[in-house]
Chain A
Amino acid sequence: MSEKEKAHPPDEDLVRGSLAGDEGAFRDLMERYKRRAYGVARGIVGDPDEAQDVVQDAFVKAYYRLKDFRFGSNFYTWFYRLLVNQAIDRWRKTSRSQTIPFDEAWVSGDTSDPEAMVYPKTPEELAENRQLSEGLTRAIAALPEYHRTVILLREVEGLAYEEIARVLDCSVGTVMSRLHYARAKLKGALKGFREG
């Protein structure tokens, strides 16, 4: 094993270690994916505390289901499937009755000239632009849950269509159509913003 692999062992090695009873190996896996997992869960369930609970539950579940992991496939695809199911279940239990309307004022874009807008380039710039940040939160929350999930897995996690299809147990065509819809909706929302 190279020095690099020792310092940053592949996921599969950590899975093997976990299965052999090495708790530290599973902890390393968790540390590796917890931020990304939280980002996905936060996008799906909306609430920060709920999202953290989802991540925690997904890792506990993953620990006990590691024996079902098929070596040769990606750990994160396998784990995201647990995570996403957990997040969607949680979202349905807590928010099913709440329907967030998509703000048509954002999607019209009639009065805005896209070339006149200056969009943030860093997380810090976005955090300072509370109007845009909160607007994005609302726009994401207004998407149907599977569309929200697809676009987060694609744009934030960078998963391939085929990987998303495996995570969501649907066809690649379904992924494409959901992604198309979600992008169009969020594009419309962004058009409503101007600089400042």
Chain B
Amino acid sequence: MDCTKAREMIQDHIDGRLPPDSARAVREHLGACRACAAEEEELRRVGDMLRLWSAVQVGERELALSPLWTRVRAGIEERKEPGLARLLRRWFWVPVAAIVAVVALLFYPSDGARVPFHPKSFDVTVESLESDTATVALVDKGKGLPRVIWIIENGKT
């Protein structure tokens, strides 16, 4: 067996996927070829290091994994709820938030200097009339500050 063929088969050899005859041929080659033997050793080392690395990661998390059942059980219970109940529980804040928002808008303290404009009748005067086609301003003088309620400019409102 030459090196090219041996290298093609090293992975299968490591993973125990070669038939006995091929495995024996690869072993014989590795026994006689230092370069290919080193290649196989390095590839095997990848597996060794990954197993150690994974064991370290799991070991470092051991304490946190101990109460995992509590969390899994909670997840199971949550999904046991009927769909409607789960939806209501998950989204109940939407109507509540909407109600709170509407109430807040209704009772929002208004600026004393700017009374909300809810006229029942208009006391309108023509304030400005510059020309037949230019600007017309209708102004509600009311009790407070005068308010422009309509502007006609060049025939367009």
Contact = CB atoms under 8 A, between A and B. Distances in A.
A48 B48 contact: no
* Chain A, interface SS category: helix
B74 to A, nearest CB: 9
B17 interface: yes
Contacts of A43: 54, 57
Contact of B53 (A34, A59, A133, A191): A133
Contacts of B65: 34-35, 38, 52, 55
B43 to A, nearest CB: 5
Interface of B: 11, 15, 17, 38, 41-43, 45-62, 64-65, 68-69, 71-73, 75-76, 79
19 contacts: A23-B73, A30-B69, A35-B58, A38-B58, A38-B61, A48-B57, A56-B72, A56-B75, A122-B52, A123-B52, A123-B56, A123-B59, A136-B49, A137-B53, A140-B50, A156-B50, A161-B17, A183-B11, A190-B46
A126 interface: yes
Contacts of A100: none
Given A126-B56, A155-B47, A186-B46, 11 more contacts: A39-B57, A42-B58, A60-B75, A64-B76, A120-B52, A123-B56, A140-B50, A152-B50, A183-B11, A187-B42, A191-B42
Interface residues of A, number: 47
A179 B12 CA distance: 11
* Chain B, interface SS category: helix
A39 B58 contact: yes
B53 A136 contact: yes
A146 B76 CA distance: 29
Interface of A: 23, 27, 30-31, 34-35, 38-39, 42-43, 48, 51-52, 55-57, 59-60, 63-64, 114, 119-120, 122-123, 125-127, 132-133, 136-137, 140, 151-152, 154-156, 161, 176, 179-180, 183, 186-187, 190-191
Contacts of B41: 114
A46 to B, nearest CB: 10
Contact of A52 (B43, B47, B59, B68): B68
B56 A127 contact: yes
A114 B38 contact: yes
Given A52-B68, A176-B11, A155 B58 contact: no
Contacts of A180: 11
Contacts of B62: 35
A187 B72 contact: no
Contacts of B57: 38-39, 42-43, 48
Contacts of B79: 60, 64
Q: Which of B42, B49, B68, B73 has the most CB of A within 10 A?
A: B49
